Amino acid sequence: MKKIVFLFSILLLTGMDLSAQSEYRFGFQLSPNFTWIGNNERNINGNGSNLGLKVGVIGEKFLSAQDNYLLTFGIGFAFNQGGTLKHDIGGDFWVNSLDETDPLRIGGFPDGVNLKYGIQYIEIPIGLKMRTQEFGYLRYYVEPAFTLGIKSQARGSVDGVNNFSAEDIDIKEDVAFLNLSLGIGAGVEYSIGENLSLIGGLAFQSGFTDISSNDGSQKEAGQEPTAEDSKAKINSLTIRIGVMF
């Protein structure tokens, strides 16, 4: 945590110095969000969302003389991203994180088991903000964006039938290193000074890469195990709260 605070302090001080140049402005966000996982397999369904948090430094570069178009970028952390997946068909899951002698793997996960993912990402977003002219102290904006997520931690929990459960499992080896997503946000900027604005809005992100390693297998009763190769993708709704200098 000390390293995170130090990193943000350096980035924020650098950003405030660059903000003195009219071509750029910088700030930071502290934004709660809700995430859930979608899946393309009919026997694997979303069964719960996570309450997460995004913390980071925001940068903007003006692209027009009227300040209506801005290139946006930044770096930050996204905590507790993911959700819960219910596996109607049990099997052998999280095989890279759990040893074969682990009680969770002996006999396999039962049908109906819930696997919860809580992932931390380092995020690098790039977008284009389109703003209105200022009305009083307000500007309205729309911002499509691409986000690169780099996994830094991943924890999981298991909840199933017949007291089959476990919490706080390190599942980093069973989560993909990268998470790529596209999204769009909209909101308002409220000017409270010549070089100081508050940001508020909503942003939706939809992942388009599989977050799971797909090294496990599922097994229906009376049949041989088959590879579990579904595609799990994270979606999120963020309540964006920030300040720009």
Using the predicted structure, report yes or no on whether residue 222 has a pLDDT greater than 90. no
Q: What is the pLDDT of residue 64?
A: 83
pLDDT at position 20: 47
β-pairing, 24-39 vs 69-87, is unpaired
Predicted TM-score (pTM) of this structure: 0.89
Answer yes or no: are the C-beta atoms of 121 and 154 closer than 8 Å: no
CATH among 3.40.50.300, 2.40.160.20, 2.10.60.10, 3.40.47.10 for 2-244:
2.40.160.20
Q: Is the pLDDT of residue 3 over 70?
A: no
Measured CA angle at 154 (ends 152, 156), to 5 deg: 175
Provide the sign of the torsion angle of the four alpha carbons 8, 131, 201, 123, taken in this order. negative
Please tell me the distance from the alpha carbon of residue 149 to that of residue 151, in angstroms, as a whole number.
Answer: 6
Cβ burial, residue 227 (10 Å; 0-12/13-18/19+): exposed
Domain boundaries, the chain: 2-244
pLDDT one-digit tens code per residue, 80-139: 999 999 999 999 999 999 988 888 888 789 999 999 999 999 999 999 999 999 998 999
Residue recorded with tokens 């759990």: 98
